[in-house]
Amino acid sequence: MSKNQKYKAAENRYEKMNYRRTGNSGLLLPELSLGLWHNFGAKDDFENSRDLIKCAFDNGITHFDLANNYGPPPGSAEKTFGKILKKDFKKYRDEMIISNKAGYTMWPGPYGDFGSKKYLVASLDQSLHRMGLEYVDIFYHHRPDYDTPLEETMSTLDLMVRQGKALYVGLSNYQPKEAEKAFKILKDLGTPCLIHQPRYSLFDRWVENGLLDLLEKQKVGAICFSPLAQGMLTDKYLKGLPKNSRALNDSPFLNKETVLEMMPKIIALNEIAKNRNQTLAQMAISWILKDDRITSVLIGASKTSQILDSVKAIENVVFSEEELKKIDVVLR
């Protein structure tokens, strides 16, 4: 499609995706959601970013995840997304779930970080302005702040809902103990926590030690980020380190050394995936989706071909005992 042609979403998009209920709420989320942490910054190719959003939406991915600091520079992913919404998605706003977060460093001085009411209120106002939106569907506190009273942070989330700037609220990167306290405060305020956003992948299974049990017990949804361990759980590094990959792009979050260290496990997991007739990316995603405590898997992508590969994960989310054992042996 040429860049000046009017975008019309694929008519069969909802047949291509499954939707799961988020905790105890009325909200259904797609089994795969798309995050804008990478590939939507000021220096990224705008037409590619635009194609990624269209490709996701055409495949039933209705949920797009942002944060104030996504870019680089911080704030630029929101601007890119706002531009795409304005150009292509005006009439689809009510078919989209857009989330945003604050909690990491956003601007200098004592009011641009962590979890004070001062920071969170200003940050959401700025984010709405950059995206050209009146409200977000989900607003998260991005990480716990041990110096601000939890009551202050949670009552700010409640305030945002009451002001109509967010429909639902969530927490990210909270450990089970602090999450449980926060859930109680939010419930008492009348704004129950919708969803928790932790990191979870074959390579990082910390949520299995209590968090997922807590979410199930409290009927809070779970959306897992970095399910592909930022690209390591795909076939992209099997033949070496491609240019334009996150590991070779000066990312502070993934480097060549980590990829090389994990390579024996990546090769062994790829063999298991092949026997399931899946790519490694598909298996890594379906391995998370096999657990019905999970609401959605939050992927990233630099190319539309990656989205098209990853969405096929939903076709096979059942694992035999033998497959699970083999995977555990590799990961040991």
Q: Does 123 bind ligand NAP (CB under 6 A)?
A: no
Q: Does 106 bind ligand NAP (CB under 6 A)?
A: no
Q: How many CA atoms lie within 13 A of 73 on its CB side?
A: 3
Name the one range near ligand NAP by CB under 6 A: 87-95, 154-162, 303-311, 318-326: 303-311
> Any idea which residue has 């220096």 for tokens?
43
> What distance in Å separates the CA atoms of residue 200 and residue 297, rounded to the nearest whole number?
9
Among 193, 229, 259, 283, binds ligand NAP (CB under 6 A): 229
> What distance in Å separates the CA atoms of residue 115 and residue 117, rounded to the nearest whole number?
7
Q: Does 179 bind ligand NAP (CB under 6 A)?
A: no
- The number of residues that bind ligand NAP (CB under 6 A) is 29
Q: How many helices (H) and strands (E) does the chain have?
A: 10, 10
Q: Where are the beta strands (DSSP E) in the chain?
A: 19-21, 28-30, 32-35, 63-65, 97-102, 136-141, 166-172, 193-197, 221-225, 296-299
Give the dihedral sign, CA 170/171/177/182: negative
> What distance in Å separates the CA atoms of residue 197 and residue 203, rounded to the nearest whole number?
17
> Any idea which residue has 């870019």 for tokens?
71
| Helix boundaries (H) for 59-112 | 76-84
Among 160, 306, 311, 314, binds ligand NAP (CB under 6 A): 306
Q: Does 22 bind ligand NAP (CB under 6 A)?
A: no
> What distance in Å separates the CA atoms of residue 241 and residue 226, rounded to the nearest whole number?
19
Contact 316, 276 (CB under 8 A): yes
Among 22, 69, 226, 295, binds ligand NAP (CB under 6 A): 226
Question: From the CB of 312, what's the least distance to ligand NAP, in Å?
Answer: 9
| Helix boundaries (H) for 71-116 | 76-84
Q: Does 173 bind ligand NAP (CB under 6 A)?
A: yes
Pick between residue 253 and residue 325 the one whose CB is nearest to ligand NAP. Answer: 253
Pick between residue 27 and residue 224 the one whose CB is nearest to ligand NAP. Answer: 224
Question: From the CB of 5, what's the least distance to ligand NAP, in Å?
Answer: 26
Q: Does 113 bind ligand NAP (CB under 6 A)?
A: no
Site string for ligand NAP, 181-210 (x = CB under 6 A): ----------------x-------------
Q: Does 97 bind ligand NAP (CB under 6 A)?
A: no
Among 38, 54, 79, 165, binds ligand NAP (CB under 6 A): 38
Among 7, 37, 119, 139, binds ligand NAP (CB under 6 A): 37
Sites of contact with ligand NAP (CB under 6 A): 35-38, 65, 142, 172-173, 197, 225-231, 234, 236, 245-246, 281, 298-302, 306, 309-310
